Amino acid sequence: LFTSIPQLVSGTCYLSQTSSIPRNIVSVIPTISQVGCQILCTADTNCLATMLNSAHTACVLLGAEITEPSSMSCAAPFTTYVKTTNGCVETAPLTTTTSTPSTSTTTT
């Protein structure tokens, strides 16, 4: 079940997905933000999804779902951000405009 608007990171976006099917763990890396976690996942071809640990101190890079019958379900559903390049919505970059006050001189 995908439940949010994709967030674009380097041409790849991550869709929020709630599931009870466990995934292989690729690695666990200290980080405090979901965006940082997604950047790490984008750089790793083995990473298919991400999630922050419950204390928001480590990024868990996840691989494929585990399909072995004995491990088919987690005790409670969990939310991951699944890496995809389909359905990504690119937003316009933020721009800033600065203005310089005009000056005039009068000669008499």
Q: What is the pLDDT of residues 5-59, one digit of tens each?
A: 455 555 788 999 998 888 999 999 998 888 889 999 999 999 999 998 878 889 9
CA distance 5 to 81: 11
Q: What is the pLDDT of residues 63-101, one digit of tens each?
A: 999 887 665 667 788 899 999 988 777 654 444 444 445
Q: Where are the domains of the chain?
A: 7-84
- Give the phi and the psi of residue 53 in degrees, each rounded to 5: -70, 170
Top-level CATH class of 7-84? Answer: alpha beta
